[in-house]
Structure 1
Amino acid sequence: MTSSPKDFSVVIIGGGIGGLTLAIGLHTRRIPVRIFESAPRFAEIGAGIACGPNSQEALKRLGLYEDFLQFADFPSRNLFFQWRLAEAEENTLLSETFCKKYGMASIHRAELLDTFIKRVPEEICGFGKRLKSLHQDDGKKVRMEFEDGTVEEADLVIGCDGIHSRVRGALDPTTAGPSAVAGSEKLVWSGTWAYRGLIPRTTFVSALGPEKGEFYAETAQMMLAKDSHLLTFPIQGGKTVNVVAFKTDRTRWPERTAFPKGESWTQETSQQALLDDFASYSSDLQKMLRCIEKPSKWALHQIVPSLTSYTNGRVIVTGDAAHGGTPHQGAMAGQAIEDALFLSHLLAHPKVHNGNLTKALQVYDQIRVPRANRVLESSLEAGDTYEFRGVGADDPQKLGQHLVERFDHIWDYDLDEENEQMNRWIEENL
């Protein structure tokens, strides 16, 4: 915690989970910060998300864990997922994966966001602020122009504006690589559509019958098949079952299929279309999918190639704006939270001030780029692996064993060592 306010100002662009987490981290450390959101209020789209041990540790260090616990669901036995064959009528169990420290918690995005909103003072928030352009000509102040005609200035601008980030376009392609482009122009479709549905537990149990219904309603499952898979886990205190069914177009495999021009990334679809895409699945899984009366489907994109730098002078990106990708390891929200913790520690450090701010940000690149990019790239690979296009592609038992320890590099990340690395770098360079 800093003893006095810093001599630099920060603006955060984007008020999702990553942006709010960072705003809270900076505000509680007395760093002058404002947060601008393009929508008329803070709101999250989507459904359930997962928070592993690494992101739970980060929330503890940000002072947000008690808020998180109000709505988080923890599995019994610290289970992450049971892995099963989707097309076998008995849904053959391959293996189970456990979080060694404490369970992979699940939570509804909107509930997580609502707990954080209460911690952000109203006076530092601006709504209806859609970024139009960024300028940092003199190397000292960053000038932001918004589509409503207003102009703001800050010493540091942090893009938390998601995978479609406009702030990402302010990075330098010569240092950050060809993906340093605003919006979605350079994003690559993974080939996967994700059908999402939230099913009331009572409806879910009724469809499957009491014994199977209760078991699957409270036990996280990943059902695997060639070029598709389906996951389920409970949220909202077990009152709701989050179901996501993934279907991948691999007509150009091992290359990624180009996304159809003019199509929306998020689409309403029919229940019959959903059932047709998973017609080979077991009767129990068909019953689950029939519970989704009005499914939506989401095209999963990724920043490819990964950015080689998240900074350019006094503009930086975090979370999905920096390393947005597929959700196949339940780890992307966690990386945004880790970023928020790192930047809160860095910007609050007594040696960091306006005069050396640009240099200090070099350590963000040095430590967070390799960490977050590894999670990003392994998430895309995980989706392929679940669909028998990776380790154990021809051997379900080998695949099951691989999945037991696949996630340790994410969950066992040492936040203390990361902080020590940052402090050593600051002592040596500032």
Structure 2
Amino acid sequence: MTSSTEAHPTKDLSVAIVGGGIGGLTLAIGLHDRGVPVRIFEGASKFAEIGAGISINTAAIEALKRLGLFENFLEFADFPSRNLFFQWRLAESPEQTLLSETLCKKYGAASIHRAELLDSFIKKIPSDICSFGKRLKSLEQPSSADGKVKLTFEDGTTHEADLVIGCDGIHSRVRGALDPSTAGPSAVAGSDSLVWSGTWAYRGLIPRERFVEAVGKEKGDFYADTAQMLLAKDSHVLIFPIHGGKTVNLVAFKTDRSRWPERTPFPKGEPWIQETSKQDFLKDFDTYSPEVVRMLECIDKPSKWALHQVVPSLTSYINNRVIVTGDAAHGGVPHQGAMAGQAIEDALFLSNLLAHPKVNNANLTKALEVYDKIRVPRANKVVETSLEAGDTYEFRGVAADDPQKLGQHLVERFDHIWDYDLDAEKEQMNQWIRENL
């Protein structure tokens, strides 16, 4: 982190960001660089990400460029050859039959480790706008139109700001400050209103040498460099390179469809992240081809993650002077490689909105209406189609009974995410501001 603020605030409104993950840091940097007074409150003792490799799609990369974060991103990002997103294969066939491949038509998508992405942003954020060990206890909306939101933290400290932005993930406490009458029944703090997709994700990072040895030299080298999605009924496995090709990121998904087409309720009281035995893990994929099973055997200490989603989608991300972004607003499953990208898009939009010359403290609550107008349809479509994508990969969606048609469908399924026009979005925002402020 840089030692002191470099931008001089030019706005008469103050912003408090709750949560220091990818979305929160991106937004804090965007606001600070545009002269909007901002503070970021993180519950942990330092900024840190859990998880493994993630995909950053082309629209999100364009957003990073506009936020001045692309050069930092380039330090760690892995860009595939030929702009490849994934090759799609049948996991159970002996040769892993190729169905199709999806290419990014305009730019290259990239993969990166979550922690590396966060580290690349930390360098850009001034230390004096960051507070750690601040777990949110409660939020109090202002009693007057020009009053401030009061945040109370579990350590007893408080902070007041003109605007509070929840970037605190799918378990968001800030989401509970939304109004269910406008945002819908998912406007609940924490995890109680979240819906289990039915899917467990087993994650592993495999050193390249071990992966190649397990799979075999020729195919192992090819798979270690070339993103693959291996599909079967009610399960699938993805692999892609990170760390400059030195590591293979593997995620194996297994879905409980015992109540299909309804979602299976998550067992009460069970943790979302569970250790599991290697034997039980491999049993979920015992119909796969021997080469794929050998990939899975490289994960020595498997753990599984229950994938949840904000269902139904929020119909509003704002309530007076409190708003939510990223997974707090539209958290969901990772099946289109787009969740981090949506948080980054939100950060760009809000940075441009709050820095706009016509937006000030007096008209702030009115100005926030355009965030709902533009970002709710965009982000909700991405999160809802991500849930559908997981079903589709597991032969429960489009072309469920025809692998060849499924392959054709997957070639262009992601265009609506990648081809999103951020300049047109900004112009739509500016036009709304001209007409309404």
The yes-or-no answer on 1:15 pairing with 2:17 is no
Deviation readout 1:343-365 (Å, 9 max, x if unpaired): 00000000000000000000000
Partner of 1:93: 98
Deviation readout 1:193-227 (Å, 9 max, x if unpaired): 00000000011011111101100100000000000
Q: Contact (CA 8 Å) 2:52, 2:249: kept in 1 or not?
A: yes
Name the TM-score, length of structure 2 as normaliser: 0.97
Partner of 1:41: 46
Larger displacement relative to structure 2 (207-216 or 175-184): 207-216
Partner of 1:198: 205
1:85 maps to a residue whose letter is: L
1:339 to 323, 341, 346: 346
1:33 maps to a residue whose letter is: V
- SS in structure 1 at match of 2:362: helix
2:115 maps to a residue whose letter is: A
Task: Tell me how far apart the structure 1 counterparts of residues 43 and 138 of structure 2 sit (CA, whole Å).
Answer: 13
Task: Tell me how far apart the structure 2 counterparts of residues 144 and 295 of structure 1 sit (CA, whole Å).
Answer: 39
- Extract unaligned runs of 5+ from structure 1: none
1:99 maps to a residue whose letter is: C
The yes-or-no answer on 1:189 pairing with 2:189 is no
- Extract unaligned runs of 5+ from structure 2: 1-6
Kindly report the root-mean-square deviation, in angstroms, between the aligned alpha carbons of the 2 structures: 0.9
Partner of 1:258: 265
Partner of 1:410: 417
- SS in structure 2 at match of 1:325: coil
Count of residues paired in the alignment:
429
Partner of 1:233: 240
Q: Which runs of 4+ in 1 moved over 2 A?
A: none
1:143 to 124, 129, 150: 150
Q: Contact (CA 8 Å) 2:14, 2:161: kept in 1 or not?
A: yes
1:100-249 equivalences under 5 Å are: 100-138=105-143, 139=145, 140-249=147-256
Deviation readout 1:163-203 (Å, 9 max, x if unpaired): 00000000000000000000000000000000000000011
Partner of 1:382: 389
2:86 to 81, 84, 95: 81
Distance apart, 1:137 and its partner CA: 3.3
1:220-369 equivalences under 5 Å are: 220-369=227-376
Task: Tell me how far apart the structure 1 counterparts of residues 100 and 215 of structure 2 sit (CA, whole Å).
Answer: 22
- SS in structure 1 at match of 2:10: coil
Task: Tell me how far apart the structure 2 counterparts of residues 367 and 3 of structure 1 sit (CA, whole Å).
Answer: 29
Partner of 2:408: 401
1:180 maps to a residue whose letter is: A
Name the TM-score, length of structure 1 as normaliser: 0.99
2:214 maps to a residue whose letter is: A
Distance apart, 1:3 and its partner CA: 8.7
Identity among equivalent positions (%) equals 78
Task: Tell me how far apart the structure 1 counterparts of residues 333 and 58 of structure 2 sit (CA, whole Å).
Answer: 19
The yes-or-no answer on 1:425 pairing with 2:411 is no
2:57 to 52, 77, 83: 52
